[in-house]
């Protein structure tokens, strides 16, 4: 099923050219009610699965709440989010919780567990953009409530939630959120985070207009 996007994308403005998917990725809160087909969801998790990780430990897992398949379960998962996130996520057809394994099998702390999960989530997000979906990540949820609801074992931590679905109209959002959706996207300049020789010293090997 092909669904025509209802919102315009808000491409990154760059001083140097970047990959088209990275340029087109942004975190919209506007979703269509249309379901996300299983084969599309499968592609998202394949993309996560093939992410790099320290020692190939793959310390990630995901819990899925699909509003179309199970509206009651979706409502319970939605309730774990902060109220400000619930207002717009209630329109998304899919809500995911991304979980990392912080304690290894040998009982030792996995110092790169969140990093590895972040790479897997980025893979999933970029794949979603390629498939024409909107995705927005959220740190705003009750981790204890998520742990209880999803029976997350000790040593595993829920890190981020993701709302995703086909693009929908921004008119369904509150005025405040619609304004945020349309606000200019901002980024720090390269000079503020690319250093040469020492932290804080601008790397002179790049040229920039700024
Ligand atoms: C770890 C993480 C937590 C976030 N938490 C929230 C959140 O709770 N609610 C929300 O609306 N957006 C949240 N966001 C989305 C960011 O606000 C958004 O990515 C950022 O403003 C940059 O916008 P862009 O993704 O469109 O480039 C989160 C993003 C990340 C990566």
Per-residue 3-state assignment (H helix, E strand, C coil) for the chain: CCCCCCCCCCCCCCCCCCCHHHHHCCCCCCECCCCCCHHHHHHHHHHHHCCCCHHHCCCEEEEEEECCCCHHHHHHHHCCECHHHHHHHCCCCEEEEEEEECECCCCCECCCHHHHHHHHHHHHHHHHHHCCCEEEEECCECHHHHHHHHCCCCCEEEEEEEEEECECCHHHCCHHHHHHHHCCCCCCCHHHCCECCCCCCECCCCCCCC
Q: In order along the chain (210 residues), what is the average pLDDT of each group of 10 residues?
A: 50 95 96 97 98 97 98 98 98 98 94 98 98 98 98 98 96 92 94 96 78
Write down the CATH superfamily of domain 27-184.
NADH Oxidase (3.40.109.10)
Ligand 1 centre to CA of 136 (Å) is 6
Of all protein residues, the one whose alpha carbon is nearest to atom 10 of ligand 1 is 138
* 194 in Cβ contact with 203 (< 8 Å): yes
- Which residue has its alpha carbon closest to ligand 1 atom 29? 137
Most ligand 1 atoms within 8 A of CB, residue of 27, 159, 181 to mutate: 27
Atom number in ligand 1 closest to CA 141: 8
Amino acid 5: pLDDT: 43
Q: Say what the pLDDT of residue 209 is.
A: 52
Q: Which residues line ligand 1 (CB under 6 A)?
A: 26-27, 85, 136-140, 160, 185
- Domain positions in the chain: 27-184
Predicted model pTM: 0.94
- The confidence score (pLDDT) of residue 172 equals 86
């Amino acid at each position: 099923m092909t669904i025509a996007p209802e919102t315009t994308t808000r491409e990154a403005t760059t001083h140097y050219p970047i990959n088209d998917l990275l340029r087109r990725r942004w975190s919209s809160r506007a979703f269509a009610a249309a379901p996300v087909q299983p084969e599309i969801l499968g592609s998202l998790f394949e993309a996560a699965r093939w992410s790099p990780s320290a020692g190939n430990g793959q310390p990630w897992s995901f819990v899925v709440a699909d509003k179309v398949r199970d509206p009651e379960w979706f409502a319970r998962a939605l309730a774990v989010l902060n109220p400000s996130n619930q207002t717009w996520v209630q329109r998304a057809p899919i809500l995911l919780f991304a979980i990392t394994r912080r304690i290894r099998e040998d009982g030792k702390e996995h110092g790169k567990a969140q990093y590895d999960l972040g790479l897997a989530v980025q893979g999933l997000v970029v794949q979603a953009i390629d498939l024409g979906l909107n995705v927005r990540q959220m740190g705003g949820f009750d981790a204890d409530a998520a742990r209880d609801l999803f029976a997350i074992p000790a040593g595993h931590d829920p890190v981020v939630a993701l709302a995703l679905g086909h693009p929908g109209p921004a008119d369904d959002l509150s005025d405040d959120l619609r304004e945020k959706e349309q606000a200019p996207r901002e980024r720090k300049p390269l000079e503020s985070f690319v250093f040469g020789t020492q932290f804080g010293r601008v790397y002179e090997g790049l040229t920039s207009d700024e």
